Amino acid sequence: MSHPPESLYLPKVAVLDRVVDEIAEVKTFYWHFEDPAEQAAFKRFRPGQFAQVSIFGVGEFPASLPPSPTEDETFFTIRRVGSCTEALHALKPGDRFGVRGPYGNGFPMEEYEGRNLVFVAGGIGLIPLRSCIIYAMAHRERYGRIQIFYGARTPRDLMYLPDLKRWEQAAGIECYLTVDRPDETWRGHVGVVGSLFRKPDVRMAVENTTAFVCGPPIMFRFVIQDLKGMGFEDRHIVSTLERYMKCGVGKCGHCCIGVAYVCVDGPVFTYEQIRKLGEEI
């Protein structure tokens, strides 16, 4: 007698290891699967993919995967915005929750080999781009110049501070930071993230370059204008679309945009694809 296939919607049990505060209302949750075999299988995810996180008895929500598959630990970085994320923020080390995935297309990092990489992030937009940055640094010999431009509202809103410090000091990486509103401790650049492109010491490559952009809608629109003004083609600008992805496997239709399902056709799209979908970010 054959057994029915395991449900696509059945989460695997994960155990919370530790929690790290990032910025206001945002925490990073380190975890592992209860079953070591599930942990090994999950580690084959690609940068830019996502997972569905279940809080038992509360609900489920989609979450970016900020770790790189080249790193040992798995984690989510989650902003508290509703009942499910509120419940996750209330968990303690040792508590259990559910994870399904990984889902989505991810960034095709192998297609970018030999190209320069420019990462532009605003605020928590650094979360989905972190995986690509760490991956590219782990395979540094495969890529050309790597430039990181990151901005936040205030110094207290800068994500992943230990990573930012490492990137600023890493050989072969150019990392530029800015804030909109400095405090008395800030000694760096002041202005929106696009203003970093015009700094006298910045020389951005356009030829043979892929630009990754993620951040609030207004930041995205202005950065796209800046990049296109420099000569970037739409097909060489990539981003991720955030939508409520309920099933994660293209069945429920909640994330449908035109002819595309963000959960399976995305969440990574080129700006050329985004425009064809008629999507406004």
Q: Is 170 part of a structural domain of the chain?
A: yes
Rounded to whole angstroms, how far apart are CA atoms 197 and 194? 6
Lowest mean pLDDT among 126-130, 142-146, 199-203, 246-250: 246-250
Both 130 and 199 in one domain: the answer is yes
Among 21, 23, 28, 66, smallest CA distance to 154 is for 23
Residue 184 maps to a domain: yes
Model confidence at 20: pLDDT above 60: yes
The first and second tokens of residue 274, run together, are 């985004």
Beta-bridged to residue 55, according to DSSP, are 59
Task: Give yes or no: residues 72 and 47 share one domain.
Answer: yes
Distance CA 74, CA 76 (A): 7
For residue 265, the domain's CATH number is: 2.10.240
149 in the same domain as 199: yes
Tell me: do 208 and 131 sit in the same domain: yes
What pLDDT does residue 8 have? 74
Residue 3 included in any domain? no
Please indicate, yes or no, if residue 213 is contained in any of the structural domains: yes
At residue 1, the pLDDT reads: 41
pLDDT, tens digit, for every residue of 62-108?
999 999 999 999 999 999 999 999 999 999 999 999 999 999 999 99
CATH number at residue 129: 3.40.50.80
* Same domain? 113 vs 233: yes
3-state secondary structure of 11: coil
Same domain assignment for residues 38 and 145: no
d(CA 98, CA 108): 27
Domain termination site, one of 68, 103, 138 = 103
Is residue 125 located within the same domain as residue 216? yes
* Predicted pLDDT of residue 129: 97
CATH number for the domain harbouring residue 40: 2.40.30.10
User: Is residue 211 within 8 Å of residue 146, measured between CB atoms?
Assistant: no
End of a domain among 61, 87, 103?
Answer: 103
Q: Calculate ∠ Cα 121-124-126, nearest 5°.
A: 40
Q: Say if residues 88 and 53 touch (Cβ distance below 8 Å).
A: yes
Q: What are phi and psi of 26, to 5 degrees?
A: -125, 130
Same domain, 136 and 36: no
Angle between helices 161-169 and 126-138 (to 10 degrees): 40
Please report the pLDDT score of residue 281 as a whole number. 52
Domain-located, residue 4: no
- Measured CA to CA, the distance from residue 260 to residue 266 in angstroms comes to 8
How many independent structural domains does the chain possess? 3
DSSP state of 5: P
Q: Which residues contact 168 (CB under 8 A, 6 or more apart)?
A: 175, 177
Under the banding of pLDDT at 50, 70 and 90, the label for residue 245 is confident
Answer whether residue 3 shows pLDDT above 60.
no
Q: How far apart are alpha carbons 67 and 65 in whole angstroms?
A: 6
Range of the domain at 232: 109-237
Q: Is residue 145 a part of any domain in this protein?
A: yes
Q: 124 with 227, same domain?
A: yes
What are the CA-CA distances from residue 109 to residues 68, 210, 212, 213 (Å)?
12, 10, 11, 15
CA dihedral 149, 153, 158, 164 (to 10 degrees): 20
Whether 197 maps to a domain, the answer reads: yes
Helix (H, G, I), strand (E, B) or coil at 220: helix
> Can you say whether residue 250 is alpha, beta or left, with left for phi > 0 and alpha for psi between -120 and 50 degrees?
left
| 137 lies in some domain | yes
- For residues 30 and 87, membership in a common domain is answered with yes
Q: Domain check: are 202 and 227 in the same one? A: yes
> Pick from 84, 103, 122: which residue ends a domain?
103
Same domain, 94 and 118: no
Q: Tell the residue number behind the tokens 């937009």, with chain if given.
A: 125
